[in-house]
Amino acid sequence: MKPKLLRVLSGEAIEPPPIWIMRQAGRYLPEYRETRKQAGSFLDLCYNPELAAEVTLQPIRRFDLDAAILFSDILVVPDALGQKVRFEEGVGPLLEPLEETGLERLDAARAVDALKPVLGTVSRVRSGLDASKALIGFCGAPWTVATYMVAGRGTPDQGPARMKALREPDWFGQLIDLLVVASADYLVAQLRAGADAVMVFDSWAGVLDDEGFERWAIDPVRRIVAAVKAQVPGAPVIAFAKGAGARLGTYAARTGADGFGLDWTLPISAARRMVPERAALQGNLDPLRLIAGGRALDEGIDRVLGAAAGHPHIFNLGHGITPETPIAHVEQLVARVRQAR
């Protein structure tokens, strides 16, 4: 049987819709925390196919979700390119300053080879996943990954990367070009290793002005989608530009993706009018409603389902699940979506 998620990405409306949750494998699960202890560092976990596959499958076993998403991180790509990355507890990702690494030392040709352990995770998960469940591979969008590469860490508004792009657009364009090639190759390798679909996360697209959004959010993702589909014809691609807002229509028309993730600030009814009729929308419950639970959660779920009814839709949050989310609330979410008709 073709997984529900793939049917939706081909333009089919299914009720109830398939459901998965961004960051569904993570710190809110006790089994994840136990596995994490075995791995050592966070990057060690990302590069350990056995443990990363276990973590990927944990939420499927617990909640019977319709899709698994590869457990990894968007910053494995700069790490594979040659920019040193580490994760510090309580701080987050820290990257070697790009001025010290130098663009000339970044090598897109070596990236996929350096990411073979992650591809091993993909193969392990696919072999351990029921055929009715989809496996989603992913990468970060070039703009979002570049913001961390330039600043060396996350910042409140990614100002360092925005300023670099404005002051040195040619230099910044070279960095984006490297990331386009490495990201497309990485996604193709994931599909060939067993992923059924891939997703491109642009978590910081919303901080760009209109010109920047066109140049740094739309065009690089368009190039990645085209490269992936040229090498793996028919490969389903989901693109998530958080904060796209009123620019979603242009983003959908120009990138050529099959599905579009929505954050919780853009109503599904408005998004539906912006994208092609057969395009799938994914989202967009506010993650805080999942923490709140009870009536607030039920009302949010019903509102999303009602707005998406009759159209291709993948139920998800508008961003990632947070560590403080009660497991009982996730169970409530899955049960209510599955009961919808």
- Residues tagged active-site: 23, 27, 36, 73, 148
* Listed residue (171, 179, 172) closest to 200, CA to CA: 179
d(CA 258, CA 88): 36
CB 24 within 8 A of CB 59: yes
How many CA atoms does the CB half-sphere of 118 hold within 13 Å?
Answer: 29
d(CA 182, CA 192): 15
| Amino acid identity at 46 | C
Residue with tokens 């276990």: 54
d(CA 329, CA 319): 16
- Those residues whose C-beta lies under 8 Å from the C-beta of residue 266, and which sit 6 or more positions away, are 244, 245, 248, 284
Residue with tokens 């949750």: 21
* Listed residue (119, 208, 118) closest to 157, CA to CA: 208
| Amino acid identity at 137 | G
